[in-house]
């Protein structure tokens, strides 16, 4: 039985995303892991994703540190496995061990969710190892390395550390071989290198004036914020935006909400004006389907969807997300309430799945929760319209020939003028306003 090292490459986590940030390792060097055990959390441009282990074995090395943005196809972790000598032909064919006397095999990224087979028998044992050093003429590109006596290069005991720490040691002129690691399983850490070089932590913030706070704070543009910025720029300069505003009396809507909250069916649910606005939008878009369409530049077509994947903009600590509720037009008020609550909670908790962030058809953004009355929302890329709902305010308003205090809200609708004419956009916005002004009448006619 021989010991091999398997490398795991960062997979494409959906929709052709090219990079991810490693947020947190759930394992350490020397840990024994099971197949599909969660080993890390990574943040793509759209969501936080948990990575399952593709192997059962022992963690040999973590190649990237938390906070590092890694390109798809880059090795991020290595596993120590045990391979039986009496493997079947199919198992031997599946092995990707490095051959020093021939052409090395190509790396094939493992995709999360594709499934893997267990590649061990018995419990792996930790012991001192030596690793083959391959010359520059014979680059290491395989995803598995047998720990046997190498045929080329220099045999040397490997100092356990990560690539960023090894680079730091080179930059500071520190010989890792002279250090005793203080990390788990004797891993040489950044602090070990800095201590040997007798330098302060170079990652510390640069404070220009002693005793005073730094005059600037720099935040890397990455992850969700990077994707959102690129998407908004692309949307603003691709789709010709038109925005219309409508201020309406929503006293009847607020009274209906108060009545529904008292009903047993809604106990435990967070029923808000957003639920009724979402329902009104689904009704109105069936009457003005151009608002639920997209521009297909490649095929020179306008595609109108017969379903509503309703996006709900959610402000999260990592930036703006717009997860969507699939087939929202089929849901009643109770189902919409539940779906919106679950969707926004997952988004704020960083648990939104890639599927929830794709294939949206039209969106709502609730700027009223921030005390804002109206604004010009930017279209979610690929969608024809987005509706912004402002704050509900008690204002003097004409009602039944008299001026009295009423609940008033402003709606802002932005739409792509390539897909939606002014008449269609105006009718759509007016329809939503009419539904919210007299929700009882609309629901009675459904």
Catalytic residues: 417
Residue 224: enclosing H or E segment and its boundaries? helix 223-238
Distance CA 223, CA 49 (A): 12
Burial 27-47 (b: 16+ CB within 10 A, else e): bebeeebebeeebbbbbbbbb
What gap in Å lies between CA 49 and CA 41, rounded to an integer? 6
Strands (E), 236-355: 241-249, 293-296, 301-304, 310-312, 314-316, 319-321, 324-325
| Whether 340 contacts 369, CB under 8 Å | no
Q: What is the DSSP letter of 121?
A: -
Q: How far apart are CA 142 and CA 125, in angstroms?
A: 23
Q: Are strands 385-389 and 362-366 parallel, antiparallel or unpaired?
A: parallel
Helix (H) or strand (E) holding 441: helix 439-445
Q: Distance between CA atoms of 207 and 214, rounded to whole angstroms?
A: 5
341 DSSP 8-state letter: H
Asked whether 411 and 253 are in contact (CB, 8 A), the reply is no
Distance of CA 238 to the CA centre of its chain: 24
Written as six digits, the tokens of 57 are 């074995």
Whether residue 318 contacts residue 350, with contact meaning beta carbons closer than 8 Å, is answered with: yes
Structure tokens belonging to residue 101: 């006397």
Q: Output the six-digit token pair for 37.
A: 């055990």
């Amino acid at each position: 039985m021989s010991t091999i090292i398997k490398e795991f490459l960062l997979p494409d986590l959906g929709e052709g995303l090219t990079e991810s940030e490693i947020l947190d390792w759930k394992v350490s060097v020397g840990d024994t892991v099971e197949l599909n055990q969660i080993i890390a959390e990574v943040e793509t441009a759209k969501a936080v994703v948990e990575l399952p282990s593709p192997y059962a074995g022992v963690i040999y090395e973590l190649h990237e540190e938390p906070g590092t943005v890694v390109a798809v196809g880059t090795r991020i972790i290595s596993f120590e496995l045990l391979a039986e000598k009496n493997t079947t032909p199919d198992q031997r064919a599946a092995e990707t061990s490095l051959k020093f006397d021939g052409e090395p095999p190509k790396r094939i990224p493992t995709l999360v969710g594709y499934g893997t087979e267990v590649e061990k028998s018995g419990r792996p044992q930790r012991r001192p190892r030596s690793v083959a050093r391959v010359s520059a003429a014979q680059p290491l590109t395989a995803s598995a390395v047998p720990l046997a006596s190498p045929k080329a290069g220099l045999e040397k005991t490997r100092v356990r550390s990560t690539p960023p720490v090894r680079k730091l040691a080179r930059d500071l002129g520190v010989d890792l071989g002279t250090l005793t690691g203080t990390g788990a399983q004797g891993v040489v850490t950044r602090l070990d290198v800095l201590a040997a070089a007798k330098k302060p932590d170079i990652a510390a913030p640069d404070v220009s004036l002693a005793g005073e706070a730094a005059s600037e704070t720099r935040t890397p543009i990455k992850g969700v914020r990077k994707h959102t910025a690129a998407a908004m720029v692309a949307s603003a300069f691709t789709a010709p935006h038109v925005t219309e505003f409508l201020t309406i009396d929503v006293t009847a809507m607020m009274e209906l909400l108060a009545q529904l909250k008292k009903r047993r069916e809604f106990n435990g649910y967070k029923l808000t004006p957003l639920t009724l606005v979402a329902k009104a939008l689904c009704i109105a878009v069936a009457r003005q389907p151009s608002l639920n369409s997209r521009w297909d530049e490649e095929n020179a077509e306008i595609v109108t969807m017969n379903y509503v994947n309703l996006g709900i903009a959610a402000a999260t600590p990592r930036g703006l997300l717009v997860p969507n509720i699939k087939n929202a037009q089929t849901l009643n008020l109770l189902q919409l309430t539940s779906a919106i609550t679950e969707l926004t909670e997952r988004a704020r908790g960083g648990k939104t799945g890639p599927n929830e962030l794709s294939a949206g058809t039209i969106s709502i953004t609730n700027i009223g929760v921030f005390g804002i009355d109206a604004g010009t929302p930017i279209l979610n890329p690929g969608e024809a319209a987005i509706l912004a709902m402002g704050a509900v305010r008690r204002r003097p308003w004409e009602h039944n020939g008299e001026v009295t205090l009423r609940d008033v809200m402003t709606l802002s609708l932005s739409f792509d003028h390539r897909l939606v004419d002014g008449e269609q956009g105006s009718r759509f916005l007016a329809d939503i306003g009419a539904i919210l002004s007299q929700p009882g009448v609309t629901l009675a006619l459904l």
